[in-house]
Structure 1
Amino acid sequence: MRHALGIAAGLALIAAALSPLPQAQASCVSAARKCQAKPLIGIEVAARATSPAASGGQVSYTLDYAMTLTPSFAPYWGTFWVGGRFPAGRGPSRAVLLDATGKRVAVLRCREHSDGVWCAAGSHIPHRGRVVLTARTGGKGVTRLGFDSFEELDRKESERRFSRREARARFCNHRFTATVTTVTTTPDS
């Protein structure tokens, strides 16, 4: 009897996992920017910047991150962007991705978007690591940096390089950020 109940419960869980998305989740896949579903992955982000910096000088931002997958019946297929809003000045044109040991994994290209400067990290990034971004600052400012994850892709879609606009329109978007304040010095200080 217990064996039969266990099999029935297992089949019910599998059926629930394979059933079509509820309407609230389906809407986030279409064109909605905010997704009703909870993220399938969590990203803890700690950010710091070299400071003080002279106005117009370079500031290096370092993001230490750790990803945690939530329990799921299916593999995780997603794509990531790293970056955010930088203070007045010029945002980075590239970012360096390092694994947990400090080994360089990739150099990511960055571009200006309507919601900040973002670098396409793709789907194959280490679960723990560091990202270093270097920008020119226009003065004291607050920088909000982190990761955007786009979820509910399939395996084939995760191999593609979607533009940020396409990803925002087609997939669930979750943002994980940290804030850094940079202080500039004047030549007299």
Structure 2
Amino acid sequence: MRRVLGLATGLALTSTALVPAAPAAAAPPGAAYSAAACRTAAVECERDPLIAVAVKVRATPAARPGGKVTYVVDYSQTWTPSFAPYWGAFWVGGRFPAGARGPARAVLYDTAGKRLAVLPCHRYADGTWCDAHGRMPHQGRIAMAARLPSDAKGKATARLGFNSFETLNEAEYARHHGRKKLREKFCEFRFTRTAVTRVSTG
């Protein structure tokens, strides 16, 4: 069956076909997902994700108060065999440093560094997330930036990665639900890592 994973673009879109990934029975080393994944606000999903996303997050190592910090998320996706009949929707982002102005967009690159798409980002109660609905490669890199507050000091910590929703059928996927509806209707998983920037005032 066709396996389609989300990635809609704000300004550009790639039509690169997905390359099948080797199935895996469990998340790859380094992947992290939420133990409190929910189908609705009241019902826990109570299973491991059907799509695991291993992520590595890097940030500008040092910045001044009010300065820009660039974040790079490298990712690799793996499916369990039971995922085949379904589709998934993805959002990229998370929690940026306290008081920081999060990104309005993120840029998707393939593993060769080719720019594939620009993703629109929006602020939510649980962080800033960029819509990744459409086609995306199994492996790639996403870059985004945030601006620190003028009174930043010490360490600026962000926790970033993927927010995925399973299991949509083809009809549900075509509706391109927003995050609010996805969180109400489908299993939600988080794959995130922490990145720290030292705030230099000297």
Whether TM-score is above 0.5 comes out as yes
**1:99 aligns to what?**
110
Corresponding residue to 1:74 among 80, 84, 107:
84
Identity percentage of aligned residues: 52
- The 1:90/1:40 distance shift into structure 2, 3 A limit, reads same
Provide the rounded CA distance (Å) in 2 between the counterparts of 1:37 and 1:46: 23
- The 1:177/1:36 distance shift into structure 2, 3 A limit, reads same
- The 1:102/1:32 distance shift into structure 2, 3 A limit, reads farther
1:83 and 2:93 equivalent?
yes
Deviates more, 1:73-82 or 1:146-155: 73-82
- The 1:96/1:102 distance shift into structure 2, 3 A limit, reads same
Secondary structure at the aligned position of 2:103 is classed as coil
Give the conservation status (yes or no) of the 8 Å contact 1:59–1:135: yes
- How big is the shift at 1:123? 4.0
**1:166 aligns to what?**
181
**1:113 aligns to what?**
124
Secondary structure at the aligned position of 2:135 is classed as coil
Corresponding residue to 2:169 among 130, 154, 162:
154
Corresponding residue to 1:137 among 132, 148, 160:
148
RMSD over equivalenced CA pairs, Å = 1.5
**2:15 aligns to what?**
none
Provide the rounded CA distance (Å) in 1 between the counterparts of 2:120 and 2:160: 16
**1:11 aligns to what?**
none
**1:46 aligns to what?**
56
Provide the rounded CA distance (Å) in 1 between the counterparts of 2:100 and 2:91: 21
Structure 2, unpaired ranges of 5+: 1-37
Give the conservation status (yes or no) of the 8 Å contact 2:39–2:188: no
- How big is the shift at 1:31? 4.6
Provide the rounded CA distance (Å) in 2 between the counterparts of 1:33 and 1:102: 40
How many residue pairs get matched?
A: 160
Provide the rounded CA distance (Å) in 2 between the counterparts of 1:145 and 1:33: 25
In terms of fraction of residues, the more helix-rich structure is 1
